[in-house]
Chains A and B, each alone.
Chain A
Amino acid sequence: MTAKIKEFPGVGLRESDFTERKVLFTEWKPDARYAWDAGVAIGRYLAELKEGRIIGVRCHHCRRTVVPPRIFCEWCFRPMDEWVYLEDHGVVNTFSICYVQWDMERLEEPLIPAVIEIAGASKGVGILHLLGEVDPREVKIGMKVKAVWKPAAERIGAITDIRYFKPIN
């Protein structure tokens, strides 16, 4: 049918139609605010971060240790068996070098987000965090990295209690 149709509906506007007010429009900034209950598993995770520790959970049934913690094993659909303290170092599973903000403005210094497989957790199990104290050109998949913690007095029980992960030899 596309072959038969000459004219499709839809009118495209230019950016200038808006800036020069050739079209009318309304604006609205939603005030959407939330306070999410952390609950049992993430509540403990945050409390341990405040103490400078990373904690995970273990399922004896499928023999996996995972982080961030959860009270159920999503594979076996049964309660997790135990809390397990993990190391605060690990291996880069994958990374990016990000030069833009969400609104596409260029960043002066690129950010280096990475999935970091945490030592003590099962293979392939990682968390999202940032890399620091490293030349972006030097970052490699498989590189060993260690958490750089905020001083104890500045920690509030948040993922940002770890400033970033930095390479270790």
Chain B
Amino acid sequence: MPRVTVQVRDAAGHTATATADYELRQPVLGGYYLSGGADPTADMAGGNFRSLTQYRSFADGYVFPGYNRPWLIDLGKAGVQMNMVLELKHYGAPNAGPQSFRVDVTDYTVPAPSMTIQQRPGTTWPKAYGYGQVLRGQCDGLLHRALAQYRFLGFGVNIQLASELDTDHEFGTTEDGKAYTWAESDARAVQAMNYILTWFKARTLPPNTTFSVGVAGFDRACFQRTHPEPLMSRLDFLQWNVYATAVGQTALSRFRRTKDWAAADLGPVALSRPAIIAEWGVRSAEIPDQPAWIATVPAAIAQLNAERGPRIARTNYFNSGWGTLSPKSAGLAALRTAYATRPYV
């Protein structure tokens, strides 16, 4: 922290000294995600894109950098800050059964995922490694496999455990035939996240490794349940996602919602952590002029960061799903302009 020192001196050499410390705020990092985890290099080229979100399942044998993703190493070595979302969720075929593999000199057999999440009625419920499985140590091999790959990556990343715990738990979860409510699922997830953090932090990690847990941030009670102070003391960032999906929703109101809940409900440790917006987007169906909406984001972030509560440190545009830029060229141009504007510079 820089310090300015004032000295007042009289003719006889008597002096008085006063000091004042100040902090220089780093620019907010403007970031991106391209649908399907595809190579975003071309979209980011020439723009002030300094942050990227990626998704991997612990079930996948290729977590770092990912299967056929050499570009991730290039971007990371070029200084793009990676937010790697590592999920217990199984992304589906081909290997939803048990897995046997060797990491370094250790042989592991990890059982098939035993939990279902995102149990929205009328949909096929995705499978995930269960919180009970994690706590019993049955997923240690998955953690070890990811860590072994991470150590070869060449740079530190933020590991975001889970994509959206609220989305995962909204309709309850089921593990080994036992149903858990939303709140029960949150409590079990916090235990499992703690287990995974303990596992990683007990081992040598690449420099600049940080951790967070993932939430969409649409439910206030869930947000509070999944951010207890003991867990936050082991995490480096808060995180939530931001979407505008209805007419009249402003950037300020959407980015503000979860932040205000955090400021009102969370403890001092949580509030000392900066926030990563792992996904943000504006849905063209309701808000066709995506570039106009995107243009309001820098001022909204600057205003929120001038208020009490966690500072938003990174915002990664989600060019997929709800955030799909259409037409892409106009949306990308708006993003480039926004990221060339304070507080992004």
A and B pair up: no
Seen from chain B, the residues whose Cβ lies within 8 Å of a Cβ on chain A are none
Seen from chain A, the residues whose Cβ lies within 8 Å of a Cβ on chain B are none
